[in-house]
Amino acid sequence: MSRQTIATVDLSAVESNLHLLQSLAPNSKTVAVVKADAYGNGAVQVAKHIQAHVDIFAVALFDEARELREHGISLPILIMQGPHEEHELAQTIHLNLVWMIHNDLQLNWLSESKLSAAELDARLWFKFDSGMHRLGFALNRFSALKNQYPQYFSTNTVIATHLACADEAAPAHDAQSQITAFLDEVQTQGFGLSIANSAATMAHSLSRQHYNRLGIAMYGSSPFDSAAQAKITPPLQNVLTLRAKIIALRTIPKGDTVGYGATWRAPRESLIATVAIGYADGYPRHAPTGTPAFCNNQIIPLVGRVSMDMLTFDVSDLDEVNVDDNVELWGANLSINDVAQHIGTIGYELMTRLSARVPRQYLGIK
Ligand SMILES: *Cc1c(COP(=O)(O)O)cnc(C)c1O
């Protein structure tokens, strides 16, 4: 490998974060969410590393489950959007799948499939809409659905919902009312329940039911904004660190500009470092001047536009800097959430948009 632009993924940190979340909810089972290539961290590697410590994996889409199977992952996999096409159901047993059913079309496919109720036992989750209004049956249909399809509602069936505001600090927000509305409708019915994502697991004890669906916090990024984050202890361990090398250094006179569109003008004589990573690698093109990176133990500001394969930083204030030095775009020394905040996005997006061109290097492989 010659290009030194690299994302290191610390698998032992994933495991530590997982254990931390599990310690908050010792009575819950763990659904490890590995959709979107484990948020860019590598679904196969992450799944292999944690499979002995979780109860089930979850992905968004059928194709994501198939990829895990092709790489020898054998735990059941929950498809959180359910089948997108009827034929996917035919692979249920062969691929050991669990379906989150969220609409009537999927229910029809299920009842028309060749799968018997016995074959589907422990393979069905039903999603209810408790207020997010994105996916799920209306909560007031719960009793009717259960009566209409008694063959799909066994004690192994899981009833799930998803919270809109689990990650917000304000105390009087919707999460609590969503949880209550959901529990009022389904709690006493003897089914498995699943409400919590990472944020809810960390912040809302009532949301910790039979199964918690853990994603972002396992990957070391806090789901909370900084104010709320301060209340969460102990802190999560960093998993992903993105680094690239300085491939050019030049001094430019005061008043000269840097990069496409000449959007940044040097307010003083400046030392400019060109770093070998760009928007083709998933670094957002709309990152503004001033977005931080970390180099030689100091923070440096991005200046000028993000190019396809390069970034430019003002390194005038560094004590020492040379071509071939490493720049950390985010990771162990610079929180992905801080960088995301400058760019107007969230850690989830920065992680998941890292492109395939960036090689992943795994630490902590057992
Ligand atoms: C992605 C996802 C999760 C995981 O959420 P995090 O915030 O990453 O913990 C949980 N549940 C559903 C339905 C999801 O789509």
Tell me the CATH number at 319.
Answer: 2.40.37.10
Residue linked to tokens 């989750």: 125
Q: CB–CB of 151/110 below 8 Å?
A: no
Residues 166 and 116 in one domain: yes
Residues 286 and 347 in one domain: yes
In a 10 Å sphere around its CB, with 0-12 CB exposed, 13-18 middle and 19+ buried, how is residue 166 labelled? buried
**pLDDT reported for residue 172:** 45
For residue 359, which of 244, 254, 249 has the smallest C-alpha distance?
244
For residue 270, which of 257, 245, 256, 251 has the smallest C-alpha distance?
251
**pLDDT reported for residue 2:** 67
Ligand 1 atom nearest the C-alpha of 197 is 9
Residue 230 lies in a domain: no
Residue 302 lies in a domain: yes
CA of 35 to the centre of ligand 1 (A): 9
Residues 260 and 214 in one domain: no
| Sequential DSSP letters for 21-69 | HHHH-TTSEEEEE-HHHHHTT-HHHHHHHHGGG-SEEEESSHHHHHHHH
Residue 6 lies in a domain: no
Count CA atoms closer than 13 A to 23's CA, side-chain side.
9
Rounded CA separation 8/14 (Å): 12
Q: Which domain holds residue 203?
A: 11-221
Residue 104 lies in a domain: yes
**pLDDT reported for residue 174:** 81
Among 35, 48, 127, 245, the active-site one is 35
Residues 141 and 275 in one domain: no
Residue 1 lies in a domain: no
Structural domains in the chain (count): 2
Residues 68 and 111 in one domain: yes
**pLDDT reported for residue 229:** 62
Residues 250 and 211 in one domain: no
160 lines ligand 1 (CB under 6 A): no
Among 152, 260, 279, 366, the active-site one is 260
For residue 193, which of 156, 160, 154, 153 has the smallest C-alpha distance?
160
| 146 contact partners, CB below 8 Å, separation of at least 6 | 153, 189
DSSP helix/strand/coil, 123: coil
35 catalytically annotated: yes
Residues 168 and 22 in one domain: yes
Facing residues of 9 across strands?
A: 240, 362
**pLDDT reported for residue 167:** 83
30 lines ligand 1 (CB under 6 A): no
Ligand 1 atom nearest the C-alpha of 60 is 15
**pLDDT reported for residue 234:** 67
**pLDDT reported for residue 37:** 98
213 lines ligand 1 (CB under 6 A): yes
Tell me the CATH number at 39.
Answer: 3.20.20.10
Among 166, 191, 221, residue at a domain's last position = 221
Residues 312 and 273 in one domain: yes
Residue 226 lies in a domain: no
Residues 257 and 192 in one domain: no
**pLDDT reported for residue 168:** 76
Residue 189 CB: number of other CB atoms within 10 A? 14
Among 221, 252, 284, residue at a domain's last position = 221
Residue 290 lies in a domain: yes
- Mean pLDDT per 10-residue segment, the chain (366 residues): 87 98 97 98 98 98 98 98 98 98 98 96 97 95 96 97 83 79 92 96 94 97 74 82 98 98 97 98 98 98 98 98 98 96 96 97 91
CA of residue 132 relative to chain centroid, distance: 19
Residues 85 and 214 in one domain: yes
Among 168, 188, 221, residue at a domain's last position = 221
Residues 257 and 211 in one domain: no
Residues 137 and 32 in one domain: yes
Residue 34 lies in a domain: yes
245 catalytically annotated: no
